[in-house]
């Protein structure tokens, strides 16, 4: 196996372990076992547990952040934006279902890591979206709403059902298959729900 393969192999194993157990719960030996290599190799390619963790965390952010930027930046009618976001984001998370909980936990454990891991100027593009929404409000095309709340609403309804899956499964008494169907329905349901709330009619 080439060195690059090994490096990727380690990163894959580390991703699986870190994302399911968190930084504190993960063991270097377990990652090594999963990657089927010697524990010393982890330190040969990534100097420390912290460095290996950071590589995993940055990858996770780089998977999730772009689509969030998309909803904010893309020049497109607001309702289209919302439909594209809920559909795209829920599909994306379905492929990486451990990431949201992972990011949320590690970020609350240590909020500083966000500063180091870019996400810097969301602000500029967020201003553009504010303008778009406020214009629609002024023209009487949608109900009055603060852009901050609208973003929170859309993102919350898209992501939280993944983060709180064990709770919702228990409360709503669904098995895995049924819950997955619910998640799929949400790709369109959330957009419909939001747009119905915004429409004046």
- What phi and psi values does residue 47 have, to the nearest 5 degrees? -60, -35
How far apart CA 158 and CA 41 sit, in angstroms, is: 39
List interacting residues with DNA (CB under 7 A): 1, 3, 6, 26-29, 37-41, 43-44, 47-50
* Residue 34 CA neighbour count, 13 Å, CB half: 18
The owner of tokens 């990652």 is: 31
According to CB under 8 A, which residues from 55 to 74 bind a copy of itself?
68
Residues in the chain: 201
155 binding partner (options DNA, a copy of itself, none; Cβ < 5 to 8 Å by kind): a copy of itself
Residue 49 makes contact with a copy of itself by CB under 8 A = no
Nearest C-alpha neighbor of 100 from the set 173, 147, 155, 149: 155
Residue 196 phi/psi, 5° resolution? -60, -35
Interface stretch with a copy of itself, choices 30-38, 83-91, 133-141, 152-160 (CB under 8 A): 152-160
Q: How far is the CB of 32 from DNA (least distance, A)?
A: 8
Nearer to DNA, 29 or 180 (CB): 29
Per 3-state DSSP, the chain is made up of helix, strand and coil in percentages (nearest 5) of 80, 0, 20
Question: Toward a copy of itself, which CB reaches closer, 10 or 161?
Answer: 161
Burial 134-155 (b: 16+ CB within 10 A, else e): eebbeeeebeebebeebbebbb
> Shortest distance, CB of residue 157 to a copy of itself, whole angstroms?
5
Binding mask 118-137 toward a copy of itself (x if CB under 8 A, else -) reads -x--xx--x-----------
Judged by the rule CB under 8 A, the positions of this chain that interact with a copy of itself are 20-25, 68, 98, 101, 103-105, 107-109, 111, 114, 119, 122-123, 126, 143, 145-146, 148-149, 151-153, 155-157, 159-161, 163-168, 170-174, 182, 185-186, 189-190, 193-194, 196-197, 201
């Amino acid at each position: 196996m080439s060195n690059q393969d090994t490096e990727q192999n380690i990163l894959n194993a580390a991703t699986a372990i870190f994302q399911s157990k968190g930084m504190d719960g993960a063991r270097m030996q377990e990652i090594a076992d999963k990657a089927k290599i010697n524990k010393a190799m982890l330190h040969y390619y990534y100097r420390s547990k912290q460095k290996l963790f950071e590589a995993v965390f940055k990858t996770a952010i780089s998977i999730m952040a772009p689509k969030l930027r998309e909803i904010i930046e893309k020049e497109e009618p607001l309702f289209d934006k919302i439909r594209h976001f809920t559909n795209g984001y829920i599909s994306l998370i379905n492929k990486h279902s451990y990431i949201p909980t992972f990011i949320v936990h590690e970020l609350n454990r240590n909020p500083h890591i966000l500063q180091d891991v870019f996400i810097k100027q969301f602000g500029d593009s967020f201003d553009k979206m504010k303008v778009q929404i406020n214009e629609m409000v002024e023209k009487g095309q949608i109900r009055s709403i603060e852009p901050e709340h609208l973003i929170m609403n859309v993102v919350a309804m898209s992501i939280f059902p993944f983060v709180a899956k064990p709770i919702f499964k228990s409360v709503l008494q669904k098995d895995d298959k049924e819950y997955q169907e619910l998640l799929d329905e949400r790709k369109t349901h959330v957009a419909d729900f939001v747009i119905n709330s915004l429409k004046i009619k």
